[in-house]
A and B are shown apart, each in its own frame.
Chain A
């Protein structure tokens, strides 16, 4: 009986430790989601940038619909051109950037647009944007249609 209690305590401790460790892990870019409605955008933000220069917007896209979808484009009056881009590592520790035609958003998955990866690129800003500002960004999905976001600017 004493051994069973000891075993149960150890098992509980192991489970507790495993839970504590996993809570720090970042979700995968295609994390399975179970709760929500439609296409949901979370954690949107953009970098500061000066007029005529560049910025980038980042967020998570979760597809709660019952069909695969695709981010086709983005629009905003804060920049002359708005494109979907991806930063990637090259040889010799160099980083490059390339335009993406679209981003697949499989059903019940979350896609992460983040630093050093996929992002919405704001080319030739029409005004300077600083920490604390915000601007409107419209995302166009193949099936879901338009999603309008208010993007806060922060460091």
Chain B
């Protein structure tokens, strides 16, 4: 009787282990990281701590970017629209241009895309924190000065990585995508694997 009981426990543990290992491989673990940022409403947000417990899609943008970043933004909205209405996945867009992308600017940008309420979070922060975060998630940027002389305002563009991440509810990176070109169906399919 005791042997059968132990055998039952062993099989249960084995199946549980197999089920866990069937999930997607983890590419990185951000659970030990912590970045104090500010959302489009001027509220302090700690990334990724404040989002633990929910899957999170994270895109990286700057609001002076007319082409690639608008597709990254739009892609995340389309993914949200495809998920069930009661899904608790959060959608974060973090700027790598914090000097120009203040909370007010991000709020205005989010409004233009009809994304200025939860589950969308547009985040900025101080330059040092943003730089550190971008290094951590392997988002590379470099400023071009092509338009500097064409306006009295400080206009410049940024060459940058084109990236969206899918982070699981335990702040572990599970998928790393080309942000603007990845079809929405791929995001949905991977999200269902979590």
Q: Which residues of A contact B (CB under 8 A)?
A: 47-51, 53-56, 80-81, 85, 87, 90, 92-99, 115-116, 119, 121-124, 128-131, 155
Contacts and interface: CB of A to CB of B under 8 A. Distances in A.
Contacts of A53: 63-64, 105, 108-109
B71 interface: yes
Contact of B161 (A94, A99, A115): A94
A124 B64 CA distance: 8
B64 A54 contact: yes
19 contacts: A48-B70, A48-B114, A50-B111, A54-B66, A55-B66, A81-B150, A92-B140, A93-B163, A93-B178, A95-B159, A95-B180, A97-B144, A97-B157, A99-B146, A115-B71, A116-B181, A123-B147, A124-B151, A130-B114
A49 B150 CA distance: 20
Contact of B67 (A99, A116, A128): A116
A128 B111 contact: yes
A116 B68 contact: yes
Given A95-B160, A155-B77, A128 B66 contact: no
A153 to B, nearest CB: 9
B178 A155 contact: no
Interface in B94-122: 105, 108-109, 111-114
Q: Is the interface of A mostly helix, strand, loop or mixed?
A: strand
Contacts of A54: 63-66
Given A92-B140, A124-B153, A128-B112, A56 B146 contact: no
A57 to B, nearest CB: 9
A56 B160 CA distance: 18
A121 B151 contact: no
Contacts of B112: 48-50, 128-130
Nearest to A48: B112
A114 to B, nearest CB: 10
Contacts of B155: 123-124
B162 interface: yes
